[in-house]
Structure 1
């Protein structure tokens, strides 16, 4: 998805410049965000972030930042209570708050940031760090259409954005796309292990498994065909792929059932953390 850069905010405060926050910042600048309109608040910025801000003309930990168009919360969730009083003073009546804090609901944010009004809660994932992320987002009823477009432009700079009809779906998004990259990485581990068990040298099996999964992912990314159609296209009746799929697709203990169980477990845990 190509973000609509005409809707990028003129001023933004990023709170927390760790791996995800820093990746988002780089994405905003790549699509045309004016670095002079950005301020970063981070009590312990990395040396790389200090250099990055200096090189790009980004204000780092300004003493009294003006209320921005957008304030993005990218700190660790457990840091919210400590940071909230100072952040509340940064908010103006027209400031949109975008939060990527796992487990912190819009209600949690409103209670800790009483000056906030418009809030978007978003759940990005790790591939956002290379511009190929998948983000689910939900807005409260105080978010205007222009603010929604601003949030979309910012979030889309790191990958696709799916707007949810209800915040209640965030936990399911967390279980599918938020945690999903780890499932894929584990698939590579398992495929490599199976290759080694079949007689391949372990390093060769790992290289083949990695290239297979990344190549299949790129094919899926570039193709308009459904995953089921792509699977069928590489499965000859009675062939080797069909033999393997008989194992992976058998009921009741095939991959579908196992993945459903895994996603359900991740969703339960997300609900527990939110509670």
Structure 2
């Protein structure tokens, strides 16, 4: 990534995780500008990463050929409107990590023409272990697409989606997905304690089980169903648990939950139109 190209509009946790990853990869901190209205957060960004903090979006955006929009969806329209004139004059690559805001909305709010990439990272990005779904509009060049990939790959893996309508499903699966795992961990811990295990032992057993299972999924070429089959001995304890899950509609519950999150993403888009 060339120098003096990157501006973050918003300096919250996700922006910080991306900045940290970029700096780790050797992007000069002096080439990164961040717009953050909260003075204490600006000071922290400068202290932690030696980036260039700014109090307002326009001042920061003036420095960047790439803008990463990292503000809440509810305020994104107002932020884009304040940058529309500069966007038309400067023609930056615009990368948005706001859930439920479409590329058409972003393009319209930025003045009618913009090279837009939508991105949906998730919270493990804070550890450099995230995954990001990406969609590029037709106005995004191959070089800009590669640049967006570089920015988001600083926090983990990337997956490109060719149909923007599927970005709400990306949000439902991976953007919201860590919370599903935390809910499962919470339920497993509670159940373990109910079976008489000490709380500290229950936590260690659950955390390491989820961590180990995730590594097996990541490092194996086999499908989840095959990995599950190998663990499930006939008439054993695992089979008893799996049959209870399935009898209670586990797969259907997951499917309905992801559908609900997908629909909510669509609703957020409509609400901000």
TM-score, normalised to structure 1's length?
0.89
Quote the RMSD (CA, aligned, Å).
2.1
Does residue 258 in structure 1 map to residue 257 in structure 2? Answer: no
Which residue number in structure 2 is paired with residue 151 of structure 1?
148
Any conservation in 1 of the 2:38–2:55 contact (CA below 8 Å)?
no
Residue 225 of structure 2: aligned partner: 228
Answer yes or no: is 1:249 the counterpart of 2:243.
no
Larger mean Cα displacement after TM superposition, 128-137 or 51-60: 51-60
**Equivalent pair of 2:131/2:158 in contact (CA under 8 Å):** yes
Does the residue aligned with 1:177 lie in a helix, a strand or coil?
helix
The aligned length equals 266
Whether 2:156 is the aligned partner of 1:162: answer no
1:40 corresponds to? 34
What's the CA shift for 1:73?
A: 0.2
Q: Residue in 1 aligned with 2:269?
A: 274
- Which residue pairs with 1:69 in the alignment? 65
- C-alpha separation in 2, matches of 1:40 and 1:191: 41
2: CA distance, partners of 1:228 / 1:45: 50
Kindly indicate whether the alpha-carbon contact (under 8 Å) linking 1:8 and 1:154 is maintained by their aligned counterparts in 2: no
Tell me what 1:57 maps to.
Answer: 50
Deviations 1:129-151 (CA, angstroms, capped at 9, x unpaired): 11111111111110000000001
| Counterparts of 1:101 and 1:8, CA distance in 2 | 25
In the alignment, which residue of structure 1 is the partner of 2:191?
A: 194
Residues 1:178 and 2:175 aligned together = yes
Q: Which has the higher helix share?
A: 2
TM-score of the superposed pair, with normalisation by structure 2 = 0.89
CA distance in structure 2 between the aligned counterparts of 1:166 and 1:8, rounded to whole angstroms = 29
How far off its partner does 1:160 sit? 1.2
Q: Assess if the C-alpha contact under 8 Å between 1:192 and 1:202 holds in 2.
A: yes
Q: Deviations over 1:20-39 (max 9, x none)?
A: 11111111111121211111
Structure 1 unaligned residues grouped into runs of 5+: 1-6
Tell me the secondary structure at the aligned position of residue 161 of structure 1: strand
Report the Cα offset of residue 86 of structure 1. Answer: 3.5
